[in-house]
Amino acid sequence: MEYKKLGETFYIRVDRGDEVVASILEVCRQEGVKSAVFSGIGGCSSAELQVFIPETGAFETEQLEGMLELVSLNGNVVSDEAGKLYHHTHALFSFKNNGQHDMAGGHLKSTTVRYTAEIELRPTVGGTILRQYDPETGTGFWSFKG
């Protein structure tokens, strides 16, 4: 992974074999970014997607393998009051399935780069967005108390 800051924005190139979410969080740690939004595209070899099922209160997981075009990556990074970083990431992948084009998307837990991924990371300017725990989903949402 390499990155460059231009103005207030970080441009991250995630390399073959690297995990995208871990790379974004690493840039945030190195640069002291406490909250941000990001987007990106790329070519990946595996992905773990999740969908929250309200009726069961749990996430269903789907594992994808093969040549995966990362056609859309969107998410955010927030921190809790102790400074721990959290991500909320959604992704959409296109791929071939039995000779047909197919797509899968949802909450992204992880994805490994096959060729490259190009990410634009935009830190929050003028303050920090914190994470507030939500007991119904077992996850966190934005808190504007910080």
Question: What residue type is assigned to position 8 of the chain?
Answer: E
pLDDT tens-digit series, residues 85-139: 999 999 999 999 999 999 999 999 999 999 999 999 999 999 999 998 888 777 8
Structure tokens at 15: 């390399």
- Give residue 83's pLDDT: 92
pLDDT of the residue at 54: 84
Residue with the larger pLDDT of the pair 48 and 81:
48
- Angstrom distance (rounded) from CA 86 to CA 80: 8
Instruction: Give per-residue pLDDT as tens, 31-65.
Output: 999 999 999 999 999 999 999 888 888 889 999 99
* Three-state secondary structure of the chain: CEEEEECCEEEEEEECCCEHHHHHHHHHHHHCCCCEEEEEEEEEEEEEEEEEECCCCEEEEEEEEEEEEEEEEEEEEEECCCCCEEEEEEEEEEEEECCEEEEEEEEEEEEEEEEEEEEEEEECCCCCCEEEEECCCCEEEEECCC
Cβ(37)–Cβ(76) below 8 Å:
yes
Phi-psi region of 109 (alpha: psi -120 to 50; beta: other; left: phi over 0): alpha
Domain residue limits, the chain:
2-143
Least confident range from 29-33, 82-86, 88-92, 140-144: namely: 140-144
Span 2-143 CATH architecture = 2-Layer Sandwich (3.30)
pLDDT the model gives residue 146: 59
Rounded to whole angstroms, the Cα distance separating 39 from 87 reads 12
